[in-house]
């Protein structure tokens, strides 16, 4: 979800997996990316539409993804929950850990 | 722009399992990323990932019935063709692979020429009846799938021992299946069920 939001309008399988790889520093399987996207779409958190086809894709169309209002709301709520959880970690105060 | 050809066997394997329109964009993404300079090993791993995750997703969508069975002949043909195709990658043993493939084709032709199954005598013993071995169970299919995964793993991870034994193992399996088939055909009354057990006299 965060990768889709970061990329914006050009979010499709390759750009999403590239974004995750650059951010995390580890390689991802396209299959796992598509699996996650399918689950998010089934839950109504993202939506997709077919885009243009190019020769290097073997003439196959891109599937562009974007977040729905419901998905954006859930991201905000998750962010707030995470911030609250981080604030409650005493071990990380004062740079001890 | 010059398009780099993807590994053909991997692409065939991908199309075999992910042929629906919902997979088109994923295959296109794979092709596009491969053109960015990734190697064949990377391509194979991505293909297996797409197939595994795709199958997992489909299995979740349709409720998999454990009792679901497929006819023996079609199932065996599918497993044999998948196994032989996997073995085709074992380039060091081409002669054996050629024999295996030809053997498989000959058996398929013989099976189709001779028609249906040999008649099984009516067996009254209570311990023997009750198993319909004319179908492949889900467990059998899973076992065959495991064999295929092992074969693919042997190719991907260059395990020399598996490479050496995979093709002879396949060849022996084909020979055994053919021998059992002919035994059943010419000795139908000696067999109580079409697995391996012979009726005691």
Chunked into runs of 10 residues, chain B (201 residues) has average pLDDT values of 76 76 82 85 85 67 48 67 62 58 69 54 45 54 66 60 65 74 67 47 43
Q: Does B60 touch chain A (CB under 8 A)?
A: no
Least CB–CB distance from B29: residue in A12, A32, A55: A12
C-alpha–C-alpha distance, residues B1 and B89, integer Å: 30
C-alpha–C-alpha distance, residues B79 and B144, integer Å: 7
Count of C-beta atoms within a 10 Å radius of residue B187? 12
- pTM score > 0.90 for this model? no
ipTM above 0.85, yes or no: no
With CA atoms as reference, report the closest residue to A33 among A67, A1, A66, A68. Answer: A1
Predicted local distance difference test score (pLDDT) of residue A51: 83
CB contact under 8 A, A60 and B56: no
Q: Please classify residue B111 by burial: count the beta carbons closer than 10 Å to its beta carbon, then call 0-12 exposed, 13-18 middle and 19+ buried.
A: middle
C-alpha–C-alpha distance, residues B30 and B38, integer Å: 10
Least CB–CB distance from A31: residue in B25, B35, B53: B53
Sign, CA dihedral B140-B172-B199-B190, equals positive
Predicted local distance difference test score (pLDDT) of residue A80: 92
Predicted local distance difference test score (pLDDT) of residue B131: 44
Which tokens go with B170?
Answer: 């396949």
Residues in chain B: 201
Task: Enumerate residue ranges in chain A where pLDDT < 50.
Answer: 97
Least CB–CB distance from A30: residue in B35, B46, B56: B46
Chain B residues in contact with A46 (beta carbon < 8 A):
none
C-alpha–C-alpha distance, residues A52 and B21, integer Å: 15
Predicted local distance difference test score (pLDDT) of residue B16: 76
Longest Cα–Cα distance in chain A: 56
């Amino acid at each position: 979800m965060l990768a889709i939001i970061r990329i914006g309008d050009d979010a499709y399988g390759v750009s999403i997996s590239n974004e995750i790889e650059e951010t995390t520093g580890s390689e991802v399987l396209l299959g796992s990316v598509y699996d996650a996207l399918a689950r998010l779409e089934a839950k109504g958190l993202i939506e997709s539409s077919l885009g243009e086809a190019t020769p290097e894709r073997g003439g196959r169309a891109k599937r562009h993804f974007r977040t729905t209002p419901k998905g954006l709301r859930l991201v905000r709520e998750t962010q707030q929950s995470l911030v609250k959880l981080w604030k409650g970690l005493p071990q990380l105060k004062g740079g001890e850990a | 722009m010059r398009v780099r050809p993807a590994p053909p066997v991997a692409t065939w394997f991908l199309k075999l399992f992910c042929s629906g329109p919902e997979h088109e964009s994923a295959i296109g993404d794979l092709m596009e990323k491969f053109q960015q300079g990734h190697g064949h090993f990377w391509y194979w791993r991505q293909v297996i990932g797409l197939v595994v995750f795709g199958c997992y997703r489909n299995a979740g969508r349709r409720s998999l019935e454990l009792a679901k069975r497929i006819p023996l002949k079609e199932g065996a043909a599918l497993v044999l063709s998948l196994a032989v195709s996997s073995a085709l990658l074992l380039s060091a043993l081409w002669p054996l692979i050629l024999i295996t493939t030809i053997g498989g084709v000959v058996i398929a032709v013989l099976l189709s020429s001779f028609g249906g199954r040999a008649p099984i005598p009516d067996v009254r013993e209570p311990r023997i009846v009750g198993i319909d071995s004319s179908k492949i169970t889900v467990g059998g299919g899973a076992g065959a799938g495991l064999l295929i995964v092992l074969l693919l793993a042997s190719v991907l991870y260059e395990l020399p021992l598996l490479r050496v034994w995979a093709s002879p193992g396949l060849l022996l399996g084909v020979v055994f299946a053919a021998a059992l088939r002919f035994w059943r055909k010419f000795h139908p009354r000696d067999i109580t069920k079409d697995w391996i057990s012979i009726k005691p006299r």
